[in-house]
Structure 1
Amino acid sequence: MTLSKTARAKVNLYLHVAAPDARGYHPLQSLVVFADIGDEVALSPAQGCQLSIKGPFSQGLSRGEDNLVMKAVRRFEAFAGTRLSHDILLTKNLPIASGIGGGSADAGAVLTLLRQAYAPDMGDDDLASLAGAIGADGVMCLWSQPAVAEGYGEKLTPIDLPSVPAVLINPLVECSTAAVYAGFDAQGKFNDLEAGRGFSGIVNIDDMVTALSHTRNDLQAPAIRMQPVIAQVLTDLEAQQETLFARMSGSGATCFALCRTDEDAEALSVRLRVMYPSGWGRRCRLG
């Protein structure tokens, strides 16, 4: 029997980043939500384990051991003491290096499916440990639930938020996370990790926009220096009547616009496809 799961796109509604510690890692605070769109991961019975990749953003992706999906597979095999007898098909619908957690979400989806197929008694803590070893956003992308992320991204406080209409837009320029952080460090200006406690009791889009207006994405400026088109995308989003709030997600280059209704989001997404014919854009709901 084939098992499948959507690896949902992650959106950082805000992202506060502190100065690097002695190890060079950055403490952070972020409000993460997840879209109802993403990559697709499927397991099919086989003699061994082979990764295949298809989809609009499959070109150039490694199918080898350096792919986060295969890293998740090997960690699961080592923990569970088993060898897989399933092939994996990854349908890559999300842009690469785009600030919406695609690779980590893919790894989280495959871990969830592997537990279902091989180790249904495995506890959540053990599964989270495997996901966390793959990347800083591994645990949040495993559960795909709204949360305030702290520490280095591994400390998650679940939060109740309404589902809100949104549009994601990426001009299809890549933003290397490492390079964006290097640009952030080069600024030499670091803020405190304040603000993120003001999101309890959010019941509608107006509450959310008000709360977000007191936050920021500290990686937005260095990402714009690397890819100036991001600034134009944000300017264009903010100029649209359907946009209630716009910001870049993660380390970029994907930006998001929050809208009041699904109809507004659809109208905005159609217009953006005309404005950015060579870009990638999708209407979705975030929650």
Structure 2
Amino acid sequence: MQVLAQAKVNLCLHVEAPDHRGYHPLQSLVTFADIGDDIRFTDDGEGPLLTIDGPFSAGLGAGEGNLILKALRRFEAETGTRISHRVHLSKNLPLAAGVGGGSADAGAVLRGLRALYAPDMPDDRLEAIAASTGADGVMCLWSRPAMAQGYGEKLRFVSLPTLACVLINPLVASPTPAVYAAYDRQGVFPPSELRFEPVQQAAALIDCLKQGRNDLESPAVGLNPVIGEVLASLRAQPQTQLARVSGSGATCFALCASDADAHALADALSALWPEAWIRACRLG
């Protein structure tokens, strides 16, 4: 069995000042791309065992610290089941990229494990396991557009039109803790209220998104100025209707009016940024 760990994109991300524990309440409109990491389950009697390949597998450990194995162990503990399948990850998404990454992989694995071992498990039990893997755990479990609040764990699923999109990452790491630390050093926390009204047309959604922002964009650019250069390239292209950093970066996204525009933009960016990771995709 094969499942897709879809890339997560933060269309908007409003971040409040840290609370007494140092955690940041937030509001975010998230959606998912039709590209991501591939995960394959094989029942060869040698599991549980995680193997990894793919263009971004270098430096990614397959030991118990990997979120996939953490999710698998917690599924075993919750269900009392010994997992016999081997899990193979083809890592297609850059690391520390602001697109879900390990949380998306863990969520996809949990969906697969339920299908294989506990098809009658209620959603809330599976969500509890996903939540234990991290703040993005539940949203990446379902890979559905949602308004996220709290610390990312409070979700209200929403209906979004499909968006033509280009993702680009200049292949610099942008670790989330470092970006949040830089955000705190700025000492400026704008009003966090994020308003979203359901819309049916992509153009209307893009107009709505322009009223929002990503509060982590500035600190991410401050730590990695090349991210700002990528954004400038995106915003200079005629196909781009909105460009922004996703999450804590370094992946940036551009929304386009059509799939044809997205592919044309991807081709233009490939000439400008030949070393970058670039993909045309659909969101929603």
What corresponds to 2:63 in structure 1? 64
Identify the residue that residue 258 of structure 2 maps to in structure 1.
261
**Pair 1:188-2:202 in alignment:** no
Taking the TM superposition and a 5 Å limit, the aligned residue runs for 1:92-103 are 92-103=91-102
SS in 2 for 1:109: helix
Find the residue that maps to 2:5 and give its secondary structure.
Answer: strand
Which position in structure 2 is the counterpart of 1:117? 116
Aligned partners of 1:172, 1:40: CA distance in 2, in Å?
20
Rounded Cα–Cα distance in structure 2 between residues aligned with 1:193 and 1:262: 32
Letter in 2 for 1:40: D
Q: 1:211 aligns with which of 203, 208, 211?
A: 208
- What secondary structure, in the 3-state scheme, does the structure 1 residue paired with 2:92 have? coil
Residue in 2 that maps onto 1:144:
143
SS in 1 for 2:282: strand
SS in 2 for 1:190: coil
CA displacement at 1:71 relative to structure 2 = 0.5
What amino acid sits opposite 1:171 in the alignment?
P
| Residues 32-72 of structure 1, C-alpha deviations (whole Å, 9 max, x = no match) | 00000000111100323110001100111100000010000
Q: For residue 34 of structure 2, what is the aligned residue in structure 1?
A: 36
Residue matched to 2:20: 22
**Paired residue type of 1:238:** R
Structure 1 distance, partners of 2:13, 2:185, is 18
Q: Which runs of 5+ in 2 are unaligned?
A: none
Q: Deviations over 1:142-195 (max 9, x none)?
A: 000000000000110111110010000000000010000000111111122212
- Structure 1 residue 205: Cα displacement: 2.1
Separation (CA, whole Å) in 1 of partners of 2:25 and 2:138? 16
1:256, CA displacement in angstroms? 0.3
Question: 1:60 and 1:199 mapped to 2: Cα distance?
Answer: 42
> How far did 1:198 drift?
2.6
Matches of 2:58 and 2:271, distance apart in 1: 24
Runs (4 or more) in structure 1 with deviation over 3 Å come to: none
**CA–CA distance in structure 2, aligned partners of residues 102 and 35 of structure 1:** 12
Specify the SS of the correspondent of 1:131: helix
* SS in structure 1 at match of 2:63: coil
Query: 1:210 offset after TM fit, Å?
Result: 1.3
Q: Where does residue 108 of structure 1 map in the other structure?
A: 107
Matches of 1:80 and 1:110 in 2, distance apart? 15
1:237 to 234, 238, 248: 234
Q: For residue 80 of structure 1, what is the amino acid of its counterpart?
A: T
**Match for residue 176 of structure 1?**
175
TM-score (ref. length: structure 1): 0.97
Q: Which runs of 5+ in 1 are unaligned?
A: none
Aligned-pair identity (%):
58
SS across alignment from 2:238? coil
Q: Is 1:78 aligned to 2:77, yes or no?
A: yes
Q: Give the Cα separation in 1 of the matches to 2:280 and 2:152.
A: 26
- TM-score between both structures, scaled by the size of structure 2: 0.98
Q: Measure how far apart 1:199 and its partner are.
A: 2.9
C-alpha displacement of 1:208: 1.3
Output the CA distance in 2 between the equivalents of 1:213 and 1:60.
37
Partner residue of 1:53?
52
Q: Which residue of 2 aligns with 1:250?
A: 247
Distance 2:83 2:125 in 1: 18
**Letter of the structure 2 residue corresponding to residue 275 of structure 1:** L
Corresponding residue for residue 278 of structure 2? 281
2:129 paired residue number: 130
Counterpart CA distance in 2 for 1:284 and 1:143 is: 19
Q: Distance in 1 between matches of 2:206 and 2:119?
A: 40
Aligned amino acid, residue 55 of structure 1: G
1:164 aligns with 2:163: yes
Q: d(CA) in 2 for partners of 1:22 and 1:284?
A: 40
